[in-house]
Amino acid sequence: MHEFDLIRQIEPFAADHKDVKVGIGDDAAVTSSYAHKDVISCVDTICEGIHFKRSTLHLSDIGYKALAVNLSDIAAMGGMPRYYIVSLAMSPDWQEEEILEIYRGMNALAQHYGIILIGGDTVSSQNGLMVSVTVLGEIEKNRSLLRSSAREGDIVFVSGTLGDSRGGLELLLSRESAVPRTEQENALVGIHQRPEPQIALGQLLKESGCRIALNDISDGLSSETWELAEASNVCICLEEENIPVSEDATNLFGKQKGYEYALNGGEDFQLVGTVAKTHWPTIQSAAKEKGIRLSAIGSVEQEGSPQVLMQKNGERTVIKRAGYRHQ
């Protein structure tokens, strides 16, 4: 496959927009910026054999997910994504049509959020495919929601249900794709393949104007809560029975495994955060009005040294920081 031919085929995915002064086709992209905004940027890379296999993701899901993981980071800052840049390293066994299908998956998600492809890079690799996506977003000046904002007395909350993606992966790895799946199984597989970044929730939390600490759950609740505790220098105590595990995951894997996936599974891309107790009811009902489930799962107990505890049947233990390790 010739690099220039591929880039020509990719170009139509880069929509025209007044804020994009130079898109694909020159040495670098040029976009407008606004004096009253901060720029939020992040990059995430997914590798064949590590983060996905051809048997766990459709081609379009690879693109969707490579972009979604970045949108999740933007959401966790309270920002709005605007532009994205894609770096590809691919081995000779990848065909042009397959790469374009990956772009179609990315494009579907990008269109949903009105995000524009403004450039990229294409190189060869000896083994497998690597897709690295950079997203540029924006937020009103000094309004980003940081991990370091948790304070004593805060409620710890989480969006949606946790562990579904890990459950979906388990189903994908344990069974031939030819075996038909039940509706419940398909729901979990769908969450693994096409996680929904929580942009709307990030916006709602930012708009509330409350002091909120926020992090997205890419590696499981335990390690993400540890990140909040460390950044804010606080002790957080979670209550196991309040952790939202879906009915689907509980039915398929049992209650205990469900908690295990929620704590240490990966790639839920929900948000975990903290907010003052007095503001919690307003935040929870504002989210509910938008159809977003928020659950209170614990509290910030004291400032001082970082710690994450789990309360279960009246007993407390320190949670190990055992985030999901990719294969």
Binding site for Mg ion (CB under 5 A): 27
Stretch of 113-121, 163-171, 267-275, 288-296 lying at the interface with ligand ADP (CB under 6 A): 113-121
CA distance 251 to 258: 9
Enter the tokens of residue 300: 């910030």
Asked if 120 touches ligand ADP (CB under 6 A), the answer is yes
Q: Say if residue 26 carries a ligand binding annotation.
A: no
Q: Say if residue 165 carries a ligand binding annotation.
A: no
Write out the E strands in the chain.
20-22, 30-31, 37-47, 80-90, 116-124, 129-140, 154-159, 212-216, 234-239, 271-276, 294-303, 307-312, 315-318
How many residues touch ligand ADP (CB under 6 A)? 12
For the CB of residue 288, give the shortest distance to Mg ion in the complex, in Å: 50
Q: Which of 63, 78, 79, 119 is close enough to bind ligand ADP by CB under 6 A?
A: 119
Question: Which CB, 57 or 85, lies closer to ligand ADP?
Answer: 85
Q: Say if residue 121 carries a ligand binding annotation.
A: yes
Q: Say if residue 218 carries a ligand binding annotation.
A: yes
Question: Which CB, 4 or 313, lies closer to ligand ADP?
Answer: 4
Asked if 49 touches ligand ADP (CB under 6 A), the answer is no
Residues 121-150 that bind ligand ADP (CB under 6 A): 121-122
For the CB of residue 32, give the shortest distance to ligand ADP in the complex, in Å: 17
Stretch of 117-125, 168-176, 178-186, 204-212 lying at the interface with ligand ADP (CB under 6 A): 117-125
For the CB of residue 241, give the shortest distance to Mg ion in the complex, in Å: 57
208 binds, among Mg ion, ligand ADP, none (CB under 5 to 8 A by kind): none
Asked if 86 touches ligand ADP (CB under 6 A), the answer is yes
Q: Say if residue 154 carries a ligand binding annotation.
A: no
For the CB of residue 271, give the shortest distance to ligand ADP in the complex, in Å: 29
Asked if 62 touches ligand ADP (CB under 6 A), the answer is no
* Residues composing the chain: 327
Q: Which of 5, 19, 26, 241 is close enough to bind ligand ADP by CB under 6 A?
A: 26
End-to-end CA distance of the chain: 29
CA distance 171 to 185: 7
For the CB of residue 203, give the shortest distance to ligand ADP in the complex, in Å: 27
String marking each residue 248-287 x if it binds ligand ADP according to CB under 6 A: ----------------------------------------
CA distance 60 to 89: 17
176 binds, among Mg ion, ligand ADP, none (CB under 5 to 8 A by kind): none
**Which whole-number Å values give the CA distances from 88 to 7, 71, 102, 237, in the listed order?**
11, 18, 11, 41
Q: Where is the binding site for Mg(2+), in residues? A: 27, 44, 73, 121, 216, 219
Residue ranges at the known binding site: 27, 44, 51, 73, 103, 120-121, 147, 216, 218-219, 267, 324
- Residues near ligand ADP (CB under 6 A): 7, 10, 24-27, 86, 88, 119-122
Annotated binding site for ATP: 103, 120-121, 147, 218
